[in-house]
């Protein structure tokens, strides 16, 4: 193979690698857009369970963590009676950590991009809160 052919082959290989990397990045962007569109359409649906499924799951997991790692040790310490902790499969813990870290990452990204992030929530017993982020200086 002549030196010119080697240079052409190397250039073709580099071009193919660059195209593959670009296609891979575009694919990831499209997947993220599809996931975002799915979440937005779920949030806009009229079904309360569809809108609240993720938060309900996270709150249930918070309850399990609170029970297993705060309440249970306190009851065992003061009551002297051993209680059985709630054992959950590893897959459920993985789903919780993925959901929680995904939410934290998305919120951090929103704040870095300067997106509005204004939200309000109405809690039981008539308690309401509004979150308006501080303006960047």
* 124 in a structural domain: no
Confidence of residue 126 (pLDDT cuts 50, 70, 90): low
Query: Is the model more confident about 58 or about 106?
Result: 58
Given this model, what pLDDT does residue 37 score?
79
Confidence of residue 116 (pLDDT cuts 50, 70, 90): low
Q: What is the 3-state secondary structure (H, E, C) of the chain?
A: CCHHHHHHHHHHHHHHHHHHHHHHHHHHHHHHHHHHHHHHHHHHCCCHHHHHHHHHHHHHHHHHHHHHHHHHHHHHHHHCCCCCCCCCCHHHHHHHHHHHHHHHHHHHHHHHHCCCCCEEEECHHHCEEEECCCCCC
Number of domain units in the chain: 2
Confidence of residue 133 (pLDDT cuts 50, 70, 90): low
Q: Is the domain of 55 the same as that of 31?
A: no
* 132 in a structural domain: no
Whether 118 and 131 have beta carbons less than 8 Å apart is answered as yes
Q: What is the mean pLDDT of residues 64-76?
A: 85
Q: What is the pTM of this model?
A: 0.46
Q: Is the domain of 33 the same as that of 57?
A: no
Enclosing domain of residue 52: 47-111
* 96 in a structural domain: yes
């Amino acid at each position: 193979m002549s030196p010119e052919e080697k240079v052409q082959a190397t250039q073709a290989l580099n071009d193919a690698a660059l195209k593959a990397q670009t296609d891979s990045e575009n694919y990831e962007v499209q997947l993220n857009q599809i996931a975002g569109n799915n979440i937005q359409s779920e949030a806009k649906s009229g079904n309360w369970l569809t809108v609240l499924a993720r938060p309900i799951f996270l709150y249930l997991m918070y309850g399990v963590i609170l029970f297993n790692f705060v309440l249970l040790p306190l009851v065992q310490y003061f009551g002297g009676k051993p209680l059985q902790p709630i054992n959950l499969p590893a897959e459920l813990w993985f789903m919780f950590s993925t959901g929680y870290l995904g939410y934290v990452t998305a919120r951090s990204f929103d704040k870095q991009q300067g997106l509005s992030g204004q939200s309000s929530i109405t809690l039981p017993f008539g308690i309401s809160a509004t979150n308006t982020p501080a303006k960047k200086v």
